[in-house]
Amino acid sequence: MSLLRNIILILLLIFIFTSCKDATKMKEVSQIYIYHSSEGMRDTEFYIDFVERMFYKYRNNNIERDSSLKNDGYDNVINLSEKKIQDFLKKANKYGFLDWKEKYIDNQISDGHQWGIIITYSSGKKYEIEGSNKYPSTWDDMYSEFEKLTGTNILLLRSDWIKEQSQQ
């Protein structure tokens, strides 16, 4: 009986250590930049600054964002509450956001939805994720969490949008 108890205790400690490590890693994220493009042109850009607690968005009308302008050319800027940030970080950790692979590409579709995410850590290290008509398994979960954080659906599309298009 004590062997079983010790095994359970060890597994519990491993789970707690792993969860704390992942949560700490998520708290080291200082910025997230998300863009969407079609036919090679970025048409929507979003930037979340966790240090300054700011959210920036830019939707172009076939005009490239001019980073020399106020707010780096972003046309909408809002403050983020500390509570919303902390809630987001917990959920992002739960959904394994930092574990997304670097590429999600569906070569069967020539155009559609291209997207990219650049995660910047407080150390300055960056992790880039990109996709074309293919998405991580927790995309829809993160879609909801980004929307709760920013009030905007910054992932733009649910992962099943292609199926919906073909059924119309």
Domain boundaries, the chain: 29-167
Q: Among residues 75, 46, 43, which one has the least CA distance to residue 60? A: 43
Instruction: Find the mean pLDDT for residues 75-83.
Output: 88
* 130-149 residues labelled b (16+ CB within 10 A) or e (exposed): bbbbbbbebbbbbbebbeeb
* 115 and 35 Cβ atoms separated by less than 8 Å: yes
Segments in 28-168 forming alpha helices (H): 82-94, 139-150, 161-167
pLDDT for res 70 = 75
Beta bridge partners of residue 73, listed in sequence order: none
- The backbone region for 119, taken as left when phi is positive above 0, alpha when psi lies in -120 to 50, beta otherwise, is beta
Sign of the Cα torsion 141, 21, 100, 50 reads: positive
Q: How far is CA 116 from CA 100, 101, 166, in A?
A: 12, 12, 24
- The backbone region for 3, taken as left when phi is positive above 0, alpha when psi lies in -120 to 50, beta otherwise, is alpha
pLDDT for res 50 = 95
Other CB atoms within 10 Å distance of the CB of residue 88: 23
Q: CATH assignment of 29-167, given 1.20.120, 1.20.5, 3.30.1560, 3.40.1800? A: 3.30.1560
Average pLDDT score, the chain: 82
* 131 and 101 Cβ atoms separated by less than 8 Å: no
* 109 and 135 Cβ atoms separated by less than 8 Å: no
pLDDT for res 74 = 75
Choice between 12 and 52, residue whose per-residue pLDDT is larger: 52
Flag whether pLDDT at 107 surpasses 80.
Answer: yes
pLDDT tens, position by position, 114-153: 899 999 999 999 999 999 989 999 999 999 999 999 998 8
Q: How far apart are the first and last CA of the chain?
A: 60
